[in-house]
Amino acid sequence: MLAIALASEAQRAFACGLLHGYRMEEDALQTIRGRIRLEDQMRRRPGFMLPVEVRYDEFTDDILENRLVKAAASRLSRMRLRSTRARSELNWVAGMLAQVSLVEFDASDVPEARFDRLNEHYRGVIGLARLILRHSAFESGRGDVRASGFLMDMNRLFQDFLTAALREALGASSTRLRSDHEITLDEDGKARLKPDLSWWDGTTCTFVGDAKYKNLTGKHIPGADLYQLLAYATALDLPGGLLIYAEGEAETRSYRVKHADKCLEVMALDLSGTLTEVLDRVSHVAERVRGLCEGAERTRLAA
């Protein structure tokens, strides 16, 4: 699914051609281009006119945005993909980015791209590429036989994906819909908590949620998950919160907590199908988030 989703987002981003940008280059040329690096020229070639040490801006497709996409596609292509379609579409991405440098980004240090009106159409594919690159690839083997794969924290991957998708669906910035924003449970500020999701209007929180990469089956919800969400809602003085599971029955369930006047809601987000289908389902979660925000605001004003 990841390979097909990346290729799908790449096709959408590349529809009007590859993104180009300026990248600073330093080189020794037979002609003057850009600015002469006088210090380097005198140190390396004293008394010689050519070649000339210069610094110039190159307009190229070999830029960070394209490098991130190529690195992610390359990492996926090294897996043992059973899907012929996935292999074919990754080959298409590689062909489109043939002139772009292949960079091996460390999982702990994947750079962020800054978006503006010129590269906004790359936001989807860059977000997915960074998710793939940030969850460590590994290679192991014995003798001449080697295997590559991913060592993924699926809880973290699901949380990152859900946060990005909800921000897009709700038109929210990272300062409004926050991830892992630290709060405290006790008055002394010693018991610190980090909800997966929280919605802020300035210093006021109107929504809190938790993402769980678990299969929500049957009627049993793990008590620990409900306790965790209850702690978040209590710490933020909210009327309730939302638990979002990665799979299972899609209808919303709710639990009215005795003696606390709080309602804990549970939803499931089916991750099967195409990326477009999954994002359509995210929009239903976004509507519930919006509803909970509005309900919390009404409760606050009525208090």
List pLDDT tens digits, range 48-73. 777 888 786 778 899 999 999 999 99
Concatenating the DSSP letter of every residue in 227-254 gives HHHHHHHHHTT-SEEEEEEEEE--S-EE
Using 50, 70 and 90 to split pLDDT, how confident is the model at 249?
A: low
**Overall average pLDDT of the 158-171 stretch:** 88
Task: Return the pLDDT at 141.
Answer: 47
Exposed, middle or buried, 165 (CB in 10 Å: 0-12/13-18/19+)?
buried
Q: How much is the average pLDDT of 238-263? A: 87
- Give the chain's domains with CATH numbers: 2-20+62-152 (no CATH), 21-60 (no CATH), 155-302 (3.40.1350)
Residue 142 has pLDDT above 60, yes or no: no
pLDDT at 121 over 60: yes
pLDDT at 136: 52
Residue 9: per-residue pLDDT = 85
Picking from 55-69, 74-88, 128-142, 238-252, which range would have the lowest pLDDT averaged per residue? 128-142
Mean pLDDT computed over 39-45? 76
125 or 42: which leads in pLDDT: 125
- Report the range out of 11-20, 116-125, 152-161, 235-244 with the highest average pLDDT: 235-244
- Quote the strand ranges of 76-229, DSSP E: 137-142, 145-150, 177-178, 183-184, 192-193, 197-201, 204-216
Structure tokens that stand for 87 in this block: 């292999």
E strand or H helix that includes residue 68: helix 64-77
| 273-291 average pLDDT score | 89
CA–centroid distance for 217 within its chain: 27
- For residues 152 and 47, the model is more confident at 47
pLDDT on residue 181: 93
Task: Give the tokens for residue 79.
Answer: 């897996």
pLDDT for 217 beyond 80: no
What is the pLDDT, as a whole number, of residue 251? 66
* pLDDT band of 205, cuts 50, 70, 90: very high
Say which range, 2-16, 23-37, 85-99, 286-300, has the weakest mean pLDDT.
Answer: 23-37
Cα torsion angle, 52, 58, 61, 63, sign: positive
79 pLDDT above the threshold of 80: no
11-15, 32-36, 100-104: segment of lowest average pLDDT:
32-36
What's the whole-number mean pLDDT along residues 38-55?
A: 77
How much is the pLDDT for 296?
93
